[in-house]
Structure 1
């Protein structure tokens, strides 16, 4: 776990907050006036709230920006006696949202933050005001959702590696060393902005994963995919109708090697046919690292106009 007050040479200058959620300490950033609308940012694998540092700064003057770290990531605790499946993360986020009583929420979702955020949306559609997907899948009961997921897995190097490593028994060993190979893990997914790489940047992203015991979150997400344990939330018809009526925005780095735009954007636009869609040439899977200012501008315009 990263020390609570670590700011990585002032690149993450946000006060730490902690909430006891389902028996573990969940860290979150909470910046901006608490009376303002909430923007809730959800990270994926193997990142944490650091991914959103530029967006937090860009939005916190006009919104309350809340950025939790999932169990086993960032400054949150990594309990040793827990599973780390998608359902666990949905349960944790639901409890977090209810304990903080967050309403009128704009969700910003990246990577597996997509299915986690959509899972909570299925359970509490009345708390969600807007949906923003940023290189984050939104499988939500669409008829061809599973087919698209399998098609993507067949061409994405990251998912191909996960399946192979699980079969040959090396998955836990490799992902248990993320503190040393974090850059390689991110590069295989599609990371393009090499100019941002520094010792500070590597420490920020690798800092949580100092021992194999600290890597259970990252291992769990990958192993859950390889073994088919993850289960997407299945909303009822009333929830889907409520959610389809909400303003929605998709931002996708076109150089994403793990979640291909041509496969996943149709899942989003079927659910939100009136959504704004922005594809960013040259930006990869970690779009907030590759095009932070461009994304912040798109998000701000969307928030102001919806």
Structure 2
């Protein structure tokens, strides 16, 4: 990474490390307080995606933002079991090791499934859910732009060799505006070469196309568990111009979680935190403040998944 100031000025945080599954798992732990915001990124981003949320909320909350193994500043082992359940287990191990409590899950993209799966295994530690453009079920469709990257030989060559996933994402995941050079540099900084992009490729490979795929059943079970989370205040903040996690994904989550509030942002794309930062942060802030009294009540566990 070599201290590139073009993006590090927007990431003025102290790196921390946790050993997860035998590897160094990078995370940020900013602010203090008895309530925690646990920010979980998707593919192909990293904790840099949450920089504005950390700056906004660290005066009132403990804000923890993780980098999945293979992503961001975490170790990038080349021979590793990159899959949904492994990522969720790593997140769960950090939750326990750092003794995170009174957690608000803040998750985007694959981070939604990873974070929710970890939540179902540590229910007593969570108080709220905030999801941005994500899914928690077997995919009802796979966009052709992603589907073509799953070809056994051409897919890795494109994703890892030509940077044909993370590179185009900084443009294609936006709708309202263009990413600044600083944001673009920051999002791409950990993914400079073939080795760096190992997890990006494996995330794409982990999209289940049929019930025979190893990740289909965990996603199926996760969706079945969503109604049991109705004791947790939930808000869905959605960029409605997302061509990947389209509005029907928000609607499908809401069918399982009818108590969830929705905040659609009509002209924002998949990188909704980058495309509409003020609207997203204000929606998070209002939700945290309004639900604080309810969250302060004694926690009750939902039914077992």
Closer/same/farther in 2, CA of residues 162 and 32 from structure 1, 3 Å limit? same
Aligned match of 2:99:
101
Q: Deviations over 1:247-272 (max 9, x none)?
A: 000000011010111x2122221232
Give the structure 1 partner of residue 253 of structure 2. Answer: 268
SS in 1 for 2:128: strand
**Alpha-carbon shift at residue 276 of structure 1 (Å):** 1.4
CA contact (8 A) 1:162 1:226 kept: no
Distance in 2 (alpha carbons) for counterparts of 1:235 and 1:256: 23
Cα distance in 1 for partners of 2:162, 2:63 equals 28
Equivalent residue, structure 2, for 1:163: 147
Deviation at 1:230, TM superposition (A): 2.2
* Structure-2 separation of matches of 1:42 and 1:9: 20
**TM-score (structure 1 length as normaliser):** 0.86
Whole-Å Cα distance in 1 between the matches of residues 74 and 168 of structure 2?
A: 23
- Report the TM-score when normalising by structure 2: 0.86
Q: Which runs of 5+ in 2 are unaligned?
A: 292-305
Tell me the distance in 2 between the aligned counterparts of 1:138 and 1:73.
21
Instruction: Tell me the equivalent position of 1:24.
Output: 23
Offset at 1:104?
1.2
For 2:3 and 2:98, the matched residues in 1 are separated by: 20
Match of 1:201 in 2: 183
* Alpha-carbon separation, structure 1, partners of 2:175 and 2:83: 29
Could you say which residue in structure 2 is the equivalent of 1:142?
A: none
- Alignment of structure 1 residues 108-119 onto 2, 5 Å: 108-119=106-117
Tell me which of 279, 285, 293 is aligned to 1:294: 279
After superposition, the Cα gap between the structure-2 partners of 1:5 and 1:23, relative to the gap in structure 1 and judged at 3 Å, is farther
Describe the SS at the equivalent of 2:7: coil
What's the counterpart of residue 122 of structure 2? Answer: 124
Q: Tell me which residue corresponds to 2:78.
A: 80
Which of 269, 290, 297 pairs up with 1:305? 290
* Residue pair 2:37, 2:104 contacting (<8 A) in 1 also: yes
- Cα deviation, 1:163-202, whole Å, max 9, x if unaligned, reads 32333621101111465873413434x312544321x333
**Deviation of the 1:47 alpha carbon:** 0.3
Kept in 2: contact 1:89–1:116 (CA 8 A):
yes
Query: 2:239 aligned with 1:246, yes or no?
Result: no
Distance 1:183 1:46 in 2: 9
Partner of 1:223: 205
2:242 to 252, 256, 267: 256
Residue in structure 1 matched with residue 302 of structure 2 by the alignment: none
TM-aligned CA deviation for residue 204 of structure 1: 1.4
- Contact 1:72-1:78 within 8 A present in 2 as well: yes
Q: Which residue does 1:143 correspond to in 2? A: none
2 CA distance for matches of 1:62 and 1:138?
Answer: 29
Q: Report the Cα distance in structure 1 between the residues aligned to 2:8 and 2:99, rounded to whole angstroms.
A: 33
Total equivalences in the alignment? 286
C-alpha separation between the residues in 2 aligned to 1:108 and 1:136?
11
Contact 1:39 1:106 in 2 (8 A): yes
- Structure 1 pair 266–196 and aligned structure 2 pair: CA distance change class (3 A): closer
Cα 1:126/1:267, change in 2 over 3 Å: farther
